[in-house]
Amino acid sequence: MEGAVRSASPLPWNPLSGGAGPCTETRAVTRRAKRLAPPGGIADLRQEGGDRGAPWRLRARLTPPQGGETDGITLRIQTSVKGLLDSDILLKLSFHLPISYPSSLPNISINSEQLTRAQCKDVKERLLEQAKRHLSEPMVHELVLWIQQNIKHIIGQSETSVCNEKSTLSRCISTEDGIWTILLHLDHMRAKTKYVKTVEKWTSDLRLTGRLMFMGKIILILLQGDRTSIKEYLILQKTSKVDVDSSGKKCKEKMISVLCETKVQSEHKRFQAFEVKEYSTLDEIQKEFEAAGLIDLFSEFVPALLK
């Protein structure tokens, strides 16, 4: 059976340096892990990030000999990082350090419930690129600090072409500057109250105006705002667990379509706020679009949703 021990003391290497020399990091963690857990067991260690990063927990698993190696060590690190709009992301990183580390790169795996598989893959690739720059130097601590500081940028880059992926987003948005209008269609909302509050928070944070419109089973989101904010909204809409599935488990929005996106023209009127509205008839929705100078948008896309 695996042994498990918890310790609140910091790791025995200086958190403000990369280590005193080759394998210092590995030997330090290995020595401490061996004292806390038997081979094949787990040692729980904790490192306070100080002024260079957020606190993170480290789990060290000593692996049995394989392929002629005398030993190896797997470090599992959990750290909370800030994503888009400063949302909290619990990042789980696993570093397997071979006996030849740091002359050889560690094997890295990434997992997070707040990120998509594609985003986790991008984070892993960027970490491996960074690791190559530290070859022959202790690097795990530096890699953790680096990802804490750069995760937001990596996520943003991985979602720039969000509608080019095989998803239900039907059209990609131009990167031109200016005020834009975008019309989204949602297939359903199971956790309606929570979903609506989340959309209201996102639009408030991003300073977007428009309407969240309900009529029977039709759900539309009409947004206006600057290009960057609309793109960030789409990223949040696609990557956040905003609804629940049929079993009541939190899930991401997979049934959303971008019906249309267009730059605001002189004949268009700007919405002054974001409002949630219920409509009884299609005529009521049509009047909403007419008031905003968007009757062509309505005629082309909305009636077809009733068929």
The 10s digit of each residue's pLDDT in 115-153 is 778 888 888 999 999 999 889 988 998 898 888 888 877
Q: With cut-offs at 50, 70 and 90, classify the pLDDT of residue 228.
A: confident
pTM of full prediction above 0.75: no
Alpha-carbon distance 169 to 179, whole Å? 21
Q: With cut-offs at 50, 70 and 90, classify the pLDDT of residue 87.
A: confident
Contact call for residues 72 and 107 (beta carbons, < 8 A): no
Query: Greater confidence, 247 or 15?
Result: 247
Q: With cut-offs at 50, 70 and 90, classify the pLDDT of residue 28.
A: low
- Token pair 């330090």: residue: 28
Contact call for residues 47 and 58 (beta carbons, < 8 A): yes
Q: With cut-offs at 50, 70 and 90, classify the pLDDT of residue 65.
A: very low
Give the distance, in angstroms, between the CA of residue 297 and the centroid of all CA atoms in the same chain: 32
* First-to-final CA distance of the chain: 61
Closest among 157, 272, 182, 53 to 173, alpha carbons compared = 182
Q: With cut-offs at 50, 70 and 90, classify the pLDDT of residue 211.
A: very high
Q: Is the peptide bond before 102 cis (omega within 30 degrees of 0)?
A: yes
CA angle 291, 292, 293 (to 5 degrees): 95
Closest among 174, 295, 298 to 230, alpha carbons compared = 174
Contact call for residues 299 and 185 (beta carbons, < 8 A): no
* Residue 157 pLDDT: 61
State the alpha helices, DSSP H only, in 134-244: 140-158, 192-205, 227-239
Alpha-carbon distance 156 to 63, whole Å? 36
Closest among 231, 225, 136 to 180, alpha carbons compared = 225
**Is pLDDT above 70 for 70?**
no
CA angle 244, 245, 248 (to 5 degrees): 65
Q: Tell the burial category of 96 from Cβ atoms under 10 Å away from its Cβ (0-12, 13-18, 19+).
A: middle
Give Cα separations from 25 to 41, 66, 120, 159 (angstroms): 19, 21, 25, 35
How many C-beta neighbours within 10 Å does residue 198 have?
17
* Residue 160 pLDDT: 47
**Is pLDDT above 70 for 94?**
yes
* Residue 63 pLDDT: 52
**Is pLDDT above 50 for 289?**
yes
* Residue 83 pLDDT: 73
* Residue 162 pLDDT: 44
What is the torsion angle, in degrees rounded to the nearest 10, for the CA atoms of residue 270, residue 274, residue 280 and residue 284?
Answer: -10
Q: With cut-offs at 50, 70 and 90, classify the pLDDT of residue 194.
A: very high
